[in-house]
Structure 1
Amino acid sequence: MLVSVSAVLLLGLLIWFLLHIRYLRRTDLLLCGAFGFLLARTAAAPVVATVLDGLGTFLGQLRF
């Protein structure tokens, strides 16, 4: 759950930044949001969550 909240915040900041530099239009934002909500209701949602959890675990183990 923590990874998904972090991913949502990170993606939200990325979307805000792209909107701020006018690289992403508002209609693109609405389409991305609608796609995300629809994806969350499909059978692919657990796979996406597993991939994000694995990625978060991998990134958490990196030491710089």
Structure 2
Amino acid sequence: MAQNCRTKLNILVTGTPGAGKTTMSPLLADVAQLRHVNVGDVVKEKNLYDGWDENLKCNFIKEDLVCTR
């Protein structure tokens, strides 16, 4: 059986638009000594979305593609 050599966890912060994810996530990453990745930025940069929700003012993310990039 192969052993997992990872020493740090991934933490995914989710919530509704305007909840403070973008503000708090980098602070959490700094305190926990983790690398911060803004998934929304990655989605936009790599076009990993397939539409726009006018009510929520956000993209429909292609989750299967985000997980493999």
TM range (shorter): 0.3 to 0.5
Between structure 1 and structure 2, the one with the greater Rg is 2
Give the helix-richer structure, 1 or 2. 1
TM superposition score normalised by structure 2: 0.33
Give the strand-richer structure, 1 or 2. 2
TM superposition score normalised by structure 1: 0.34
Larger RCO (CA under 8 A, 6+ residues apart) = 1
